[in-house]
Each structure stands twice: as structure tokens, then as C-alpha cells.
Amino acid sequence: MAKDLIVSFGEMLIDFVPTVSGVSLAEAPGFIKAPGGAPANVAIAVARLGGRAAFVGKLGDDEFGRMLAGILRDNGVDDGGVSFDTGARTALAFVTLRTDGEREFMFYRNPSADMLLTEGELNLDVITRAAVFHYGSISLITEPCRSAHLKAMEVAREAGALLSYDPNLRLPLWPSAEAAREQILSIWDQADIIKVSDVELEFLTGQESVEDDVVLTLWRPAFKLLVVTLGEKGCKYYTKDFRGSLDGYAVDTVDTTGAGDAFVGAMLRKIVDDQTVLQDEGKLREVLKFANACGAITTTEKGAIPALPSAPAAVELLKRH
């Protein structure tokens, strides 16, 4: 069997996005429900780009949970790793859209089903088939999910998967900033590929800078690739042998939700087909241009999953630049 499956681990939830931008949650006249959760977004991004994707996580045994599992299947994602909790609800997040398309979050998770995933509920068959195993940091916040996360990483690593990490910082979910920093970095050294945003870089290093000397404090000898995304300004990349940067693409931004997930999904979709891109700067730059284009397109529509692009849409944007 071809070893090209990308398995995403973590949370899937429903974002309630206001019908108008630039107002507080209290002032919003109404909300649109948008399926989300970074690892699930990445899985759907991969599938929409023609890749093979699976999702591992826990949902509430409720209408929203069943709806989300249906959305995975409808988008071509293997949901064999999804379990349901009869005692806890699917997580919800209310998202404030600022006028510039950036977001603020208010979460309903006390506790939500995703936090209650146990080691025993992991579908090891799905995880051992992964060519790439991708995860975030939200699943590290509380037990039993934290132990399930660490076990899943270990199983994937032993099965020969590349480990891909996007910390996807959501400070309101952590007990404190210190706890967030400590836990995010607790699994840092184990990844092969890490993607951080400029905001996450500043948070983790304590320095308001994206200069190479600051980024390289987060570099580890075992890494194959470290990418720092800079929003509309593009990205910077670092490997053992080379480093560089790429400009982003100017688009009319409506909502930045899911842009980073689209970037990661596009990058992993290409890497899983040809891992030599990690040693070949020319190839890597082409992959990251494609990822930048996918991230940019995602910001032109509200919500993450509806806005995730197909490969032809990304190629079209690349042709125009």
C-alpha cells in the first residue's frame, strides 16, 4: 500500500463566526456555524488538494459531533480514528472578526469531548499507516488527552512517520502563558517538521523579532524543516543545509481563519509525495509558494473549511503572480 497517508490528531469543533465583522461578540447580530479545529482543517486541506488524509480525535455524541464526522467524510477524510463521548459535548468557539480579518476567540470547553480522548481509544491502525503524523498543542492542555497525544506520537514515530507540529497557540485555553510556553516546548525536540506563525515565534522566544538569530534559538539538530509564516508577508524556511524567505500573495482578506492550516496541509501534501524536497532548496521553494497561495486563498472567504482551496485554484493564483 502506498505510504502517503497524512494523519491529523487533535480537536475538531464548531466556530460560531459573526455575520458582520468589526463588532464584539455581544454586539454581533447573529452567527454562522463553521466547522473548524486546526488539525481537522489540515486533514480537509490535504484531501481537498487530492491527498489522502485521516483524522484522529474525539467528538461529542451529539448533533454537532455527528455533523462534524459527516463533514470529514464528505470531504474525503478517513474518520476511522474518530470516537464519540456520550458524557461531554463537542467543543464550541465564538470567534470575533476584527475589521482587518484577524480573530479573537471565546471557547466553550468545560470539558469538551476532545479533551477526554484516552490512550485506549486511539485507533492505532490508522496511526501506524501514517506517512506524516500531524498535531498541535491544544491536545496537550489537559489529561487524559495529553497522554493520548504523547502515545499517538510515539506509535507514529515507531511506525516510521514524519512528525509534523503546528503549535497553534490559543492562549485563552491555557491556565497561564507560562504553562502554554512550557507545554508547547515540551514536545518541541521530537518533531521533524515545525510550522510556527510570527506571533507564536514572538511568544515562544519572548522577543519581538523574526530575524534569523531569534528563529534559530528554536532550531534543533534533528529537525528536517522549520517554517515561520508571516501572514500576508509570506514565510521563512530553515533546514540543516539552507534557509531563505518567500513573499506572500496579495488578496482581499475577509477572514484569516484556517489560513495557517491551509498552508500546512498544502506543504504536507507535497512533502508526502516527494520527501527529497526537504533536501532540495529549489523544490522546497516551489512547495512553499504553493502553500503560500493556498493560505492566501483561504483568507478570501469566511470560515476555514469552506474557504480551503482546490489545487487548480492555487495553481491559478500562482500563474497570476
Catalytically active residues are 261
Task: Pick the closest to residue 169 from 141, 128, 130 (CA basis).
Answer: 141
93: enclosing H helix or E strand:
strand 92-97
Give CA 64 to chain center in angstroms. 21
**How is residue 161 annotated by DSSP?**
P
Q: Which residues contact 187 (CB under 8 A, 6 or more apart)?
A: 137, 140, 150, 153, 165
Task: Pick the closest to residue 292 from 200, 241, 230 (CA basis).
Answer: 230
Using H for helix, E for strand and C for coil, what is the string for 45-64?
HHHHCCCEEEEEEEEECCHH
Task: Pick the closest to residue 200 from 176, 225, 180, 175 (CA basis).
Answer: 180
Residue 146 sits at the vertex; the CA angle it makes with 192 and 265, to the nearest 5 degrees, is: 40
Pairing of strands 225-229, 235-238: antiparallel
**CA gap 11, 223 in Å, rounded:** 25
236: enclosing H helix or E strand:
strand 235-238
Pairing of strands 52-60, 130-135: unpaired
